[in-house]
A = this chain, B = another copy of it.
Amino acid sequence: MPQLRKDPVLNQWVIISPERGKRPSDFKSPPKIEEDITHCPFCEGNEHMTSGEVLAFRKAGTEANTKGWWVRIVPDIAPILTPCTDANREGFGMFDAMNALGVHEMVIEFPGHYDSIATAELEQVKEIIWAYKQRLLEIKKNPSYKHFMIIKNSGLAVSSVSHEHSQIIATPIIPKRVEEEIEGAREYFRYHDRCLFCDIVKQELRTASRLVYENDGFVVFCPFASRFPFEMEITPKQHLPFFENIETDNIASFADALREALIKMNALLPEQPYNFVLHTSPCSDAYKDYYHWHLSLMPKLTKTAGFEWGSGFYINPTPPEDAAELLRKAK
């Protein structure tokens, strides 16, 4: 019978429905969309089609906003958040509003249109992670921003551009989802005097049934209360609140874990769209004892409808133990 499982971080219940026991082949591939890639703004040679770069790793001697780069970061052309001097917080009767102050940048992960983390050399994945780190450290100098995160929408079903890219978003407030994680982690820390994320890593390594991959620095697993089929979590084994403080060794381990997770996902669920979200601690030392950076990888296979909207519960037709077993074997 279906089981209700609680996510200890988000304090959120998920309905795991083993009867439905959906396997990878039960999920329809998205329809193929014909694309004219000659006008892709993210392809090498089309640098004039984006905003000016704020960071690029490029060959010595090449000029900004020309060919010759291997990772390139540009502000979004129609940003949802924009840098401005003042948030201009204001009340409208009983309601609160402010300017949408923030940073919204595109990390173009490859010069070529058809490259992806799953098919790339490890060196290139490391370069992408270096670019995240370097850019976050730069943005963090502005005290207006309370939090930043890195997200990725991959596939035309979830993104308007199929050229692989991720996004850096900085906000003047701590987003609700992150507040919820902090709250869950803080409660656990108060009670146990231990980091919730560290404990999850240990338990997943011990239980092993939801484990997908492990290397020196990172563990990849399907969370106990996975909201989505084949959802994976990538967490550093060491207690590290801030992603942006990641060091050379760990960059290599993280690149390996991320690439391995995506190779496995791709093998089981070819062409399926996915999202990832990298959460790091808000820009303050207040949370460092119990917040632990991590990345959630969410294949986009199921629809969310009224039930999820109304309850905040998720329905997952693939138990994470089954998902992990398939992912472990996938190559």
A100 within 8 A of B: yes
A80 in contact with B315 (CB, 8 Å):
yes
For A141, the chain B residues whose CB sits under 8 A away are none
Closest chain B residue, CB of each to CB of A273? B305
Q: What's the Cα separation between A307 and B95 when bound, in Å? A: 24
A307 in contact with B167 (CB, 8 Å):
yes
- Select the stretch in A54-62, A152-160, A245-253 that faces chain B: A152-160
For A276, the chain B residues whose CB sits under 8 A away are 306
Q: What's the Cα separation between A276 and B310 when bound, in Å? A: 8
A interface secondary structure, majority: mixed
B173 in contact with A13 (CB, 8 Å):
yes
A162 within 8 A of B: no
- Given contacts A2-B81, A207-B93, whether A176 and B311 have CB atoms under 8 Å apart is yes
A302 → chain B closest CB, angstroms = 12
Please tell me which one of the listed residues B8, B19, B167, B277 contacts residue A96 in the complex, with CB atoms under 8 A apart: B8
B1 in contact with A82 (CB, 8 Å):
yes
For A94, the chain B residues whose CB sits under 8 A away are 8, 199-200, 203
For A169, the chain B residues whose CB sits under 8 A away are 307, 310-311
A208 within 8 A of B: no
A289 within 8 A of B: no
A306 in contact with B275 (CB, 8 Å):
yes
A303 within 8 A of B: yes
- Given contacts A95-B224, A176-B11, whether A100 and B2 have CB atoms under 8 Å apart is yes
For A315, the chain B residues whose CB sits under 8 A away are 80
B95 in contact with A13 (CB, 8 Å):
no
With contacts A95-B203, A95-B225, A304-B304 known, what are 17 further pairs, Cβ within 8 A? A1-B84, A4-B99, A5-B95, A5-B96, A6-B95, A6-B97, A12-B176, A17-B100, A20-B78, A152-B306, A158-B305, A169-B310, A171-B311, A177-B309, A275-B306, A296-B309, A296-B310
